Amino acid sequence: MSQLLPKFQFVSSAKLPTRFGQFQIHGFVDTASHQEHVALSYGKWSEADIVPIRIHSECLTGDSLFSTRCDCGFQLEKALANIVTEGKGVLLYLRQEGRGIGLLNKIKAYNLQDQGLDTVEANEHLGFDADLREYDICKVMLDTLQVKKVRLMTNNPKKIAALKDLGIEITERVPIDHGITEDNKQYLQTKTQKLGHAFDPHLLK
């Protein structure tokens, strides 16, 4: 009988020089879905240290294609810069495009938003929940990197609750109100009003 694989597996690590600094990239796989995820780490720490981290869900349009419809690319760059400034930290990059609905469905949702729906209404019109993302793999990623206590860079209360449920100690939430533009202001207002994200209301006026 073949041995059952754990649901989440660490695969390999390598150096990743970036324009922000010298990171290490660590690959993980969900053996059930075959989805691949990565973590970027910077600096060194002990298990007793509080480590700044960011959980970032993949956004091809924002992270790679410089879209200003969302704040994802801006937040990614800010998080990496913050980690380097702190001298240590981890970015967990999860392959959950479009809050879990996938790239092509996200484009369909964008089309519905062009017609007047907000981001939550568009996902629901396509038959999805407003947010399908899961964070269970974060426990394996942080355990592999020997991170037990974190300062979490996020505006999303769901990420805070998810890490606490996984047994990760969060000592502080660090706001990441960055990259607010005229193109994404309504999108961010919807996330605040319907998904409970914490943005400075003065920045969204």
* Binding site members for Zn(2+): 59, 70, 72
The whole-angstrom separation of Cα 151 and Cα 37 is: 21
147, 154, 29, 84 alpha-carbon torsion, rounded to 10°: -60
* 177 is annotated as an active-site residue: no
Q: Which two tokens stand for residue 61?
A: 């349009």
Q: What is the DSSP string of 154-198?
A: -S-HHHHHHHHHTT-EEEEEE-------TTTHHHHHHHHHHH---
Binding residues for GTP: 54-58, 75, 97-99, 119, 154, 159
User: Which amino acid is residue 48, in one-letter code?
Assistant: A
Strand partners, 136: none
Quote the distance between the C-alpha of residue 203 and its chain's center: 21
Annotated binding-site residue numbers: 54-59, 70, 72, 75, 97-99, 119, 154, 159
Count CA atoms within 13 Å of residue 20 on its CB side: 22
Identified catalytic residue from 69, 71, 118, 133: 133
Active site residue 151: no
Q: How far apart are CA 38 and CA 13, in angstroms?
A: 9
Catalytic residue among 63, 71, 118, 131: 131
**Catalytic residue positions, numbered:** 131, 133
